[in-house]
Structure formats: structure tokens, C-alpha cells
Structure 1
Amino acid sequence: MAGGEAGEAYGAAVAALRSHLSDWVHVMDPGTTVSLLASYGRLEELLSLAALRGDHEGLLEQLLARGRRGGRGQDRWRPSAVCRPSPLAPTSDPRPRPGPLRALTVLRSPSVSRELLYKFAPALVAAAAEEAVDAFIAERPPLDPRRLLPALLRYGEPESEPAARRHVLRYVEFAIEALGTTDIVVHNLAVALYSLAPGREGEDALLRYLTRAGRGGAPLVYGGTAPLYDTQYALRLAQECGKPRAAVRLMCQLGMYPDAVRAALALDLGLAKSVAAEPQQDDGLRRKLWLQVARHVVERGSESGTGSGGAADGADPTAHIRTAVEFLREADGLLRIEDILPFFPDFVTIDNFQAAICDSLERYGAAIAGLKADMEEATAIAEALRRDIAVMAHRSAAVSLSQPCTRCGRPISEAAPLTSLPQGGALPPFYLFPTGCAYHVACCAAEIHALMVRLSRVRPGATTAPAYGGAPAASVSSLQEALAAEIGSEDPRNGELTVRLLEAPFVFEADAAEAASWAI
């Protein structure tokens, strides 16, 4: 225009255009009008038209389509459908086109629904990854990371564009650290993005993430926490993407300790030792892992775990022997010299193991001395028990005939109320216990029976009663003797049965319904 964009004529033309749009928007063809305004770069008028028509979605489609076409002979993008951008990067200039940038400007408007941001997120990330991620992070209130996954997941694939992948990782880190998301899909995407990062720095970042996310999961039954990511999926990615140290860490999380030690030995002996020392709750497994490391040290004879043996390389042929012997001290007492001797060749002399053998013999001597002390203590205890039993065999007590029965209260010289048979003037049988309690035989049997019935309610099947029906006379007499010995074995009110009933509830499960009916 002659007067330039700052001239009065330009301003008047813009005012006339906007007035025309406002007056005739209801009769204009939307597609043609939007195409004309977009071709001349009239963003403000496009926004006004979208506000008049309430059609921000159509405006965004036009802007993103123009960004893919490249405009007036600009660098072009590969054609694709709206909201389904191609995973391929631009063919020449990676800089974002004006269309996607203007689409982001439209989406920042307060009058635009947030749902449109979720809908067009895939196209925005594909067209302008850096700017789109900046907009996602700056959005307040924060966006839902799970709803943005359709725009982000494609960058967890190896064929995705590295520059865009770095920006997607920025948002994933923001979602994890700032928003505190625990969504397993988001964390699996983080594992994929870290695994695809090249070099040792990428593996270090993956290891830091595995340590951080492995501590923030749900608590496990036996301690520790479940990681926020899928461990098996992470292990597969680490192996496919060449992240061996991360793979060792993930094998340990999965309990694959022998495989983890084997993989660690191919990298570094120190890493293998740390893996072997990890399962603190299982000494048997730790010993197996230390043996695996010891075998490698003996057979390879290399401190780093990557050499081919000292003698073959012209080094000291006994160097790996000394290394293996010193290795026994690092095994926390789980290994001894006799455990690793089978790994050495036959021509090795005993002089190389002199110190280790002496140490092993000293430990065996200390263990034998400890066992001898335990045996002497056990012998002394057994002798004391034998003396006590001998004294008990001749122990006696005096009892008065007027002493009451602990159960029925009658004197023990009178018949028990449970017995209806005449005594013929004979003293009824009774039990006198070391506790000082006296019982009629029938009362003691009734007391024992009551206790056993209560105990059987606590532990069903814990007690059984002998059956006399149909048994021969000889067996009946023997059963009677056994029953008498069982009844008189302990004081019913001060013995083991009473102690076991301390754990019994006042109301049994069978009486729960009746107890509930008395509840207020």
C-alpha cells in the first residue's frame, strides 16, 4: 500500500475490512473468507472472524494446513491430515512456519477452549516442537499430561526426529518433577526418551531417572517400593538401545541377579561386586553371586573383568591368584579358600594360598571352639535335668483330709459330686499338684475336659478323645492308665492349657451372631 502499513490509508482500509467482516459475516462463505485472510497474513482479522463465527477450530485448521503447505513458495512440509502430522521432520529448514506459530497465538487467547489445545497438540508438536512444548509448560492451570500423550508418544520411537525428541523430553520431565504425575504411561515414555538419548550422558540420565522413579512408587509387602515404570519394558529398551549399565540396574530390580552379575562382569568388576552384595536378605543367593564373580576373577585374571588372563599377556602368572585370594576378604565372609580352589588350574602351588589357608584354618578353629562350648553347656543342662528328675521321683507332700477340692470345694476325703457310686468307706482318689491345689479325680477330669473343649473351639481338631467302645479288656485298662496319666500331668488351673487359653477370645466366632444381637 502506498502509505505503508503505518499510514492513514492503511488504517482506514483495515477498519473497513473489519467492519465489512462484522456486517456480512453471516452471508460469507467461511472457507473462502478464511483462505483469503490467511493468504494475506491477516491474523487479527482471522481472530475477529473466528470470534464472530465462534469457529476457532476452523481457523486453527487453516493455520496449520498453511504451515504444512509452506505459504507463498516458502519451505514446504510433507502433506498430512490435520491433527495427524507426519512423524518425519521437515525436508529442509527445521524452523517453525508462521502458520503453527500463529495457531499457538490463537490457542493462548482466553476465549479459545482448552479442548482445542488437546485436539491440535499432535500437529503443533510436529510443526513447532520447541514452541509447542513451551506453550504446554506455560499453560495455567497445568495441562493434563495423559491427554497430551497422543502428541508425545510418537517421539518415543527410534525413527523420531532427535531435536523434537529433546523438547518432548523437556515436557515429560516437567510433568514428572513439577506436576508429580505417577501415570505409568508417562513414565514409560520417559524411559523410552532417556534410552534413545545418545552417548554416556544419555545412559547417566537414564540411571538417574531409574533411581529417582524407583523410589516413588507404591510400597511393596516386603519393603521397598514398586517403580513407577514398567520394569520389563524398560529392560528391553535398555538392551535394544545399548544402555548396559541401566540394563544391569533393571535386572536387579526384577530379581535377575545371576544375569545382572553376568552382564556387569562384561563391563566392570566393581559393578559386579556391588550387584553381588545387593540381596542383603538372602545369604545363599549372595554366596552364589560372589562365587560367580570369583570364578570370573580366577579364570580371566583381570581386575577390570575385560582382560584375557595374566599369563597369556606376559604378566605375572600368579597375579590373578593373589587378586582372587584378596577377593575373599571382600565377600563379607561368605566365601572361603576351599570354595574357589576348584576354579584354579592344577599346576598352582600351595604357596600362593598360604595366607588364605591359614585364615581359613583360624576361622574353623574358632568355629570348633564355639561348638565345643555349646556342647559343654548342653551337657551341663542335661545333667541338671537328670538330677531334677531324680529328685522329683522321690518327692512327697503332706495333705490334710479336710483340704477342699479346688473345683467343687468339698474336702478331698468326701466323694466328688460328679461321682454317684458308693465309696464303701474308702478314701476317694484325688490328685495333689506341686502348686498346692488338690482335686478329686472326677473334678480334675471335668476341669481338663472343659479346658480342652474351649481350646478345641479356638483350634479346631486340636484335641481328640479316646474311644472305649468295643475295645478288649486289656486295652481298656491301658487306655484308663493313659487317661489317668494325661489328667494328672498338670494342674488344670495353673498349667500349659490355661496359658494357651490366654490367647482365646472372650466371644468365639460361633457366638458372634448372638453377641451382635446384644449390641446397643
Structure 2
Amino acid sequence: MFGRGFLDDDDTQATFGLGFTSRFGGLSGYDMEDDVVDANMSAYSAYGESDVIIEEPIFSKKRLGFKLPPSTSIQQVICAGGSAFVVLSNSTIVRRALSGAEADEEIHPIPRKREGQCTVERVFIDPTATHMITCTVCSDGHECFYIHLASPKLAPYTLHAVKRRKITAVAWNPLAQRGDPATQPILLGDAQGSVFEMTVNHNDHHAQQIFSVSDAPGGIIGIHLDVQRSSKLGSRFYIILACAHRFLQYMGPPGPEGQRFENILKRHELSSGGQEAPVLPRSQLSIYQRFPSTAEAMAWMTPLGAYSGHFDFANALRDESTAIPSFNVIPYNPATDRVGDEADVPESLVLTEFHLLLLYPHQIRAICTVNNKQVMDERMPTAAGRFQGIVRDPTSEDVLCYSEKTIYRIDTANETRDLWRLMMDKGNFDAALDYCTSDDERNEVHAAQAAYLFDNQEFGRAARAYSKTDVAFETIALKFLDKQEEGPLRTFLEEKLHRLSRGDITQRALLTTWLVELFLNALDKAETAENSATYERTMEEFKSFLEADASRRVLHRETVFDLISSHGNVDVLLFFAQLHSQHDVVVQHYIQMGQADKALDVLKQVGNEKPQLIYQFAAELIQAKPHELISLCSHMHLYEEAVEMALTVDLDMAVEQVRRAKDDIDFIDQAREKQLWLRIANHVIKVKNDIPMAMDLLKQSVLKIEDILPLFDDFKIIDPFQRNIQRSLESYNKEIQQLRESMEQSTTSARAIRADILQLNKRVERVHGDMMCDVCEYPLLTRAFYLFPCHHAFHKDCLMREVVKYLPPSQCRRVNTIRQDLRDLPPTAAGARRALALNAKLDEIAGQDCIVCGEIAIEMIEKPFIPKDQLEAYIESWSTGGVDLGPSADDEEFGIDREAPIMDSFT
């Protein structure tokens, strides 16, 4: 299957990989040129022989708009710290922020006094883009220079410790932070196979050779330095040394200052960590790392293919064998699978998370490291010239490839597009789900996982996986039924039920009913096999299922009762009946089984809510457990029923129920107690026909002879209870005599009171001219006044103002109405007569009691000084220094004006 890339004249981006090519407009930081992209770009599918899938491409490339100065070419590109460092043939370096947010910066890596004498050969920059080492070729040999990139004003200086050394590889210390003034100890490798340990800062450095790799044609082509921490072993440094034909691993504790790594390289080579291959002069080491995290994978270019593997540092810490348990040799041309063909060896390679990108002079190829399949093979634009290298930024994961004339940015953001399918095909379903981006993809993975588990007879796990798919419900059910696996089928139905929405009532009802049948079948099988453990476990699961709110809402009770009854499982029947408050079914079952005690226990639990159950089953229970049933009725305050039932058993028990009822003052009054005694008396007289016993009831009850006389026949001989009638009549005679005496006493008292009232109307009090009002303390005779028997005297208006303060709202409203009527009266004779009547009413209100020593004054003792509705205002006034209290809440509610003037017109 081929995908095609399409490019119009105004396009600056080409896309490649499995699927259909998409187009993007120009982006910030890119120039548009027409002639550098070949329109015929083909891609090969690594994921099957299906038809073209219209999807976003796995990779796309965009030319970095970089204008070369005249007569210069690109010599090297380094990608670090989110920036591209372009080394030009005129020995200058241009720094470009890949985000496009900053202007280009020109860097001069060679001291000014040596410019023109040295030519840049290779540049090394740490991942944070803080430190840069430049290796040059000078007239007197190789020299290296250092510059601190975070301090642009600092000039580069010579690293004399490695003078005359051609540095070919640098490993930066992973403990270093962005902007640090010094590098911390780092490793350098040269063309002779020597390894140096060096510490560099902005103005000084210290270095010494600590190791040398024998038989290393081409010297050290790559070094990697990582650090691992162990709670038991402490810090351990991990080192990779790669040569043209050898790959070595080391791990050990750090040494003293200045010799951090010497002891590791000399004494701690990992026993199984070495690899050898035929010599490849342009061999290269690529490490996949998301800085500052530890490295995850590596790729080493050899003539036989790219050796790749994932790091397992825990394995190296455990047995010091290797940090790469297995190597995967990836052929450079999977289409031919040729090994050792020099034409297939790329110019450069770089490792991404899931792909190996191979750069050739005029093409780029991508191979998936998961399955070694080629996913892209693209011809690069001829006008771009010969491509030299491909690099990756470990901090931002940007990938750049470059030729002598131009730079391309490779977008790898979509490289996980088909990872879910690859992982699924390899049986790694959990990882496949991690890379799914849509419900359709997740559904396909779950379906594949379920099929795999089903084929391997892991039916329980298969059921859970199938429940997450949209595979036809009937298809899955039949698969389990064909295998006679009702347990997993039950699991599948339960999981499916949980995933249904509440609105799918019909489907939920069908599933729950089917699950009930499956649970009952499982219980039958466990009981038949006499497997008590399985029976109990299944029973608990079944009860939990029936109790679940989701099941209770949709189960059809009658259908479920029929199913349970057809299986004859009494335990489930009783549980389901109680769960759905079908207590009559439970009680009826216990009675039929002769278990009256259990039936009574149920009635004790629900009798208060459903007293009708006691009436329904009283006839059966009174025969089996009479005393217990009667006690239950009495306990539930059903005293009439308790007495009626007791009379069928024992008269003394009936009397005991009445006495117990008498103590229940919340439910029994004298009238109801009398009715209970009459029930007993009626039973004694009409059923037992026991006259002496009836007479005995009169002694121990509230009944009297006249209460029970109507119960006897009309022609009954009264001789047996003649004496009782006589005593009753004598008692009535005494009561009548007492009543007569009481009435005579009441009449005498009434006459005395009437005489006192007449005398009050004739009482006279002498008023002196110098008497004062007890409210305003002005002469009393200046205006209308009140004089009380207690000798307190008040002006009428003063008294009224004080009285209204203590009147209830209804009286206050009445006073206000009378005041208003007095104001509205016309100055006529009729008005005068009306005024006299109204003032009489005011006199009735104001003159009923003395406000100083009467009942009003006594009641005021319990009244708070501050009304409750004004208490908060008073408290606030203590802090603010004053309070303006309006009328109380009651006055506002009833429209009462307690401060209105007292009108004394017509008086």
C-alpha cells in the first residue's frame, strides 16, 4: 500500500508515512520557497496490506527558513535546549529558537585572536544549551574552546588540557542544571580512544585522561553518562563507550573529586554489556532521552544494522550484568532485509520514542522499532543538496535534518498514531489501550483482547473484556453458552448492566431477569454438588445483586417470584420477599413450616407499619403461640385485640392485658380502659354466664353496677346482685347530698360577692389640693385623673401613656381605634354623647388596675428590660456610642402607635 505526498506551489511542508497526506499553511518562523520539495513522495505501510486509510500522517517535514550568508554552507546542526545551533563554514554559529519567539543570535566560538587560524570541525552542546565545546582544526593541530552560552558577554577560551586532541564525543553530566556556572564532571572521548574527565566553568577548567579503549579504530564515536540512585547502593553512574566496532557498558559508584569516573571505567565494566560488530568508520550512537529523565533506549549504527535496545537499569543494579537485557538488530532496508550492504548504511540516524529515522544523502527512511517495519521512505528535494545529519533535542524532542543548503524540521508528534494496533497485534493490550485516541480504537482493542482470552479459556477475564466492546450482545452470549460457561456469562451480563444508562429500562429489566435465572441455576448446581463454599459465595453474590439499587428499580417482582418458586429455593424466596416488603409471604411460609416463632419475629419487625398482618394471621398464630401473640399485640398498643385474643385463652390473661394498658398513659384514657373492662364483663356474663365472677369484676375495675346491668337478660333474676345494687344506690345518695351542699355553699358565696360589689360603688376617697400625679408629679387636680383604692393617683393622659406600654397587641389596637374615633368626632351634642361612650371604654381599659402595685406591675417582673427583637441593636450601641431604636417587631406587625397623644376631648 502506498501513500502519496502532494505539494502545490505555495506549500512548504511535505508529509509522509502511512495514510493520506495532509496540508498545512505557513507557520511562524518559516520562509516559503517553491523549489525545494519533490512532489513525488511515496510511503510504505508497516501495519498491514489494507487499503489507503485517510488519517493524519505519522511524520511530516517543514523546511526551517534559514537564510545562508553568501559563500557559506551548513557544516553541522546541534539541537539542544529548544534551540537549533547552525555551524557555518565560516566558523560562526547561528542560534535560532525553534519556538520562533526570539531573534537569531550569532555566536563566535573561536577567540578573536585565533580567528582565521582555526576552522570549526565539530561542536558539542549540553542538553540545557548552557555549555558549548568547539573542536577546531588549527595550523598547529587540533584545539578545543569553551564558551558559557548563558553568559553571552563572556568570550570563549582555550581548553589547554586537551590541546592537540581531536575530540569526537562528549558526555554531559546529568546532574547539571540549566544556567549552572560549571559543567560538573563530564567525559570526553578522542580519535585515539582516550577518555578524559573534565570540569569546565566560564574561565577555568581541569581535565585528565582516565581511560583508554584499546583497539579502537576511529576512536570514541559516542559517550553517554547517566546516574541511577538506589536506596541500598546509593548513587551509581552508568557509562556507555561506543567505538566504530565496539559497544561497552560500565556502572559503579563515583570516585573522589577529579576522578569521579576513573574507577568505574577501570573496574566496573558490566559483564554482559559489550557488543562487537565490523568496523564502520561513520558509526554513530543515538540515545533516546526525555531530559532531565534518565535515558530510555539507544541505537548504535553498525554495518550489520542498527543495534537497538531499551535500558533496564534495575537489572544492572541487581546483578551488574547489563543495562540492556536484549538487543534488537534493525535492518536499514526492511524491504530487502539485507545485512552488510554498505549502500544501505545511512549517513546519520536518530532514535525517537518508537521509530528509528535514517538519513541518506537524498532520502529519509523511518523504521518502527516495535516491529522493525518500515513506515516511511521519502526522497528529499534534489535542490536541497546532499543531506549530512539528523539530530534530536532531548529537552523538546524536536528533530532536525540538514544538508549543506537547508534544514528541515521533522514533526514526530503523531508517531504514536498506529501504536495501539502494533501493541494489540503483539498481545500487549494494556499498552495498546494507552495509545488509543478514539472509542473505535479502544473498542477494537477490547474485542481483540476478549477473543484472545476466550481462546485461551480465560473466560472470566474474557467476559469483562467483552463487556467493554460493542460486539453484538447475542454473539457473545452464545459463545459462552456453547462452552457451557454460565459463570463468565453472568459476569458479562453484570458488567454490561453496569454500563447501561438509566434510561435503558427495557434492556436493564431483561438483563436483570436473565441474571436472576443464572444465579438460581448456579445455586442449584452448587447444592446438587454439595459444595457448601460455592453455594454460600454464590448466595452472597446473588443477595448483593438483588439488593443493588440498579436491580431493584427494574426487576418485575411477580416474574422473579415465579422464577424463584420454580427453582424451589426457599432461602432466596424469603430474602427477596423481605427485600421487597412482601412480609405476608414470609409469615405465611413460616406458619406453613410450623415455625411460629420466626413468624412472630417478622411481625415484631413490621407490625407497627403493617398491623393488618396481625389480623391476617392471628387465627393461625393464636393456636400455636397464644401467649406470645397476645404479648406482641399488647407491645404494639393493640389492647382491644390483645383482650379479645386473651378471652379465647384465659380470663386472667385478659385482665392482665387491661392492667398493662392502664399503665400506658399515652394510649389509654379512662373511657378506653372502661371499654376494655366491658369487653371482659360481656364475655363473663354472656359467654361464661358467671354472675359471681361478674360481681367480682366490679371490685377490681372501674365498672359500676349500672355499666353491666344492660348486659343481663331482661328477665334475669336480680337476687345474686341485689346487694350490689343496694350499695350502688347508697353511693348515689351520698354523692347527691354532697352535691347539694356544694351548691348551697356556692350560692352563699355569690351573695357575698354581689354585696361587696354594691358597696364598692359607694366608696369615697378624699382628694387633697396638694396631691400630685404619681407619673408626672404635677398637681393632680389640674386635669382629669384616676384615683385607685391603693391611694395611687394619675392624670388620665399620664396613666394611658403608661398603660399602653404593657398592653397586648389586641388591646393596643383597640386603644388606637378609640383615639382615632375621638379625633374624628364633630363638635355637636351627638359627638359629645359619643365621646362620653368612647371615654368610658378608655376608662375600662386604663382604670382596671394600678400600674404601680397592681397585676401589671407584678407581670413586669418577668419581662426583660430590652425586647428580644431590639437586643442586637442595643449591643451594637455599646460599641458605637448610641442607638436609635424603633418600635418593636410586634408593634410594626400590628401597626401600633404607643406614643400617640391621648385626646381628652369631651371629658
Code of the aligned partner of 1:456? P
Code of the aligned partner of 1:290? W
Displacement of 1:491 after TM fit? Answer: 1.6
**Cα shift readout 1:225-270 (whole Å, capped 9, x = no counterpart):** xx4xx3256447536x844679878887998766776566556555
Of 707, 710, 715, the residue aligned with 1:342 is 710
Of 849, 853, 863, the residue aligned with 1:490 is 849
Displacement of 1:432 after TM fit? Answer: 1.9
State how 1:315-326 maps to structure 2 within 5 Å: 319-326=689-696
Residue 432 (str. 1) matches residue 795 (str. 2): no
Q: How many residues align?
A: 376
Displacement of 1:393 after TM fit? Answer: 5.2
Displacement of 1:51 after TM fit? Answer: 5.6
Residue 282 (str. 1) matches residue 669 (str. 2): yes
Code of the aligned partner of 2:728? S
Give the 3-state SS of the residue equivalent to 1:465 in structure 2.
Answer: helix
- 2:517 equivalent in structure 1: 85
Of 455, 459, 466, the residue aligned with 2:808 is 455
Displacement of 1:456 after TM fit? Answer: 1.9
Say if 2:785 and 2:795, in contact at 8 Å, map to a contact too.
yes
Code of the aligned partner of 2:590? A
Displacement of 1:338 after TM fit? Answer: 0.8
- 1:37 equivalent in structure 2: none
Say if 1:195 and 1:203, in contact at 8 Å, map to a contact too.
no
Query: Separation in 1 of the partners of 2:674 and 2:641?
Result: 15
Displacement of 1:485 after TM fit? Answer: 5.1
Code of the aligned partner of 2:809? S
204 and 347 in structure 1: CA distance in 2 versus 1, 3 angstrom threshold = farther
Displacement of 1:353 after TM fit? Answer: 1.1
Identity of aligned residues (%): 22
Of 699, 712, 726, the residue aligned with 1:329 is 699
Residue 62 (str. 1) matches residue 494 (str. 2): no
State how 1:303-322 maps to structure 2 within 5 Å: 319-322=689-692
**Cα shift readout 1:159-204 (whole Å, capped 9, x = no counterpart):** 95998546876x89xxxxxxxxxxx965945675245312797444
State how 1:229-244 maps to structure 2 within 5 Å: 230-232=609-611, 234-235=613-614, 238=617, 242-243=620-621
Q: Which has the higher helix share?
A: 1
118 and 201 in structure 1: CA distance in 2 versus 1, 3 angstrom threshold = closer
Query: Separation in 1 of the partners of 2:770 and 2:863?
Result: 36
Q: Which has the higher strand share?
A: 2
- 1:402 equivalent in structure 2: 770
Say if 1:451 and 1:498, in contact at 8 Å, map to a contact too.
no
Say if 2:773 and 2:795, in contact at 8 Å, map to a contact too.
yes
Query: Separation in 1 of the partners of 2:704 and 2:854?
Result: 49
**Cα shift readout 1:93-139 (whole Å, capped 9, x = no counterpart):** 9944468954766999xxxxxxxx358856xxxxxxxxxxxxxxxxx
State how 1:72-221 maps to structure 2 within 5 Å: 82-85=514-517, 95-97=527-529, 102=534, 117=541, 121=545, 160=565, 164-165=569-570, 186=579, 188=581, 192-198=585-591, 202-208=595-601, 210-211=603-604
Give the 3-state SS of the residue equivalent to 1:410 in structure 2.
Answer: coil
Worse overlay, 348-357 or 287-296: 287-296
Question: Structure 1-normalised TM-score?
Answer: 0.52
Question: Structure 2-normalised TM-score?
Answer: 0.33
Code of the aligned partner of 1:364? Y
Query: Separation in 2 of the partners of 1:366 and 1:157?
Result: 73
Report 1 or 2 for greater relative contact order, CA contacts < 8 Å, sequence distance ≥ 6.
2
Query: Separation in 2 of the partners of 1:456 and 1:375?
Result: 39
Say if 1:89 and 1:161, in contact at 8 Å, map to a contact too.
no
Q: Which has the higher Rg, Structure 1 or Structure 2?
A: 2
Residue 441 (str. 1) matches residue 834 (str. 2): no
Query: Separation in 2 of the partners of 1:50 and 1:492?
Result: 92
Say if 2:695 and 2:721, in contact at 8 Å, map to a contact too.
yes
377 and 30 in structure 1: CA distance in 2 versus 1, 3 angstrom threshold = farther
Residue 299 (str. 1) matches residue 686 (str. 2): yes
Give the 3-state SS of the residue equivalent to 2:808 in structure 1.
Answer: helix
Code of the aligned partner of 1:83? L
Give the 3-state SS of the residue equivalent to 1:338 in structure 2.
Answer: helix
Question: Structure 1: which 5+ residue stretches go unaligned?
Answer: 1-21, 35-45, 68-79, 109-116, 123-143, 173-183, 215-226, 302-318, 417-428, 514-520
100 and 200 in structure 1: CA distance in 2 versus 1, 3 angstrom threshold = closer
Query: Separation in 2 of the partners of 1:406 and 1:437?
Result: 7
Displacement of 1:438 after TM fit? Answer: 0.7
Code of the aligned partner of 2:686? E
Worse overlay, 158-167 or 395-404: 158-167
Say if 1:337 and 1:360, in contact at 8 Å, map to a contact too.
yes
Displacement of 1:406 after TM fit? Answer: 1.6
Say if 1:63 and 1:100, in contact at 8 Å, map to a contact too.
no
- 1:465 equivalent in structure 2: 818
Residue 509 (str. 1) matches residue 877 (str. 2): no
RMSD: 5.8
Code of the aligned partner of 1:291? L
Displacement of 1:434 after TM fit? Answer: 2.6
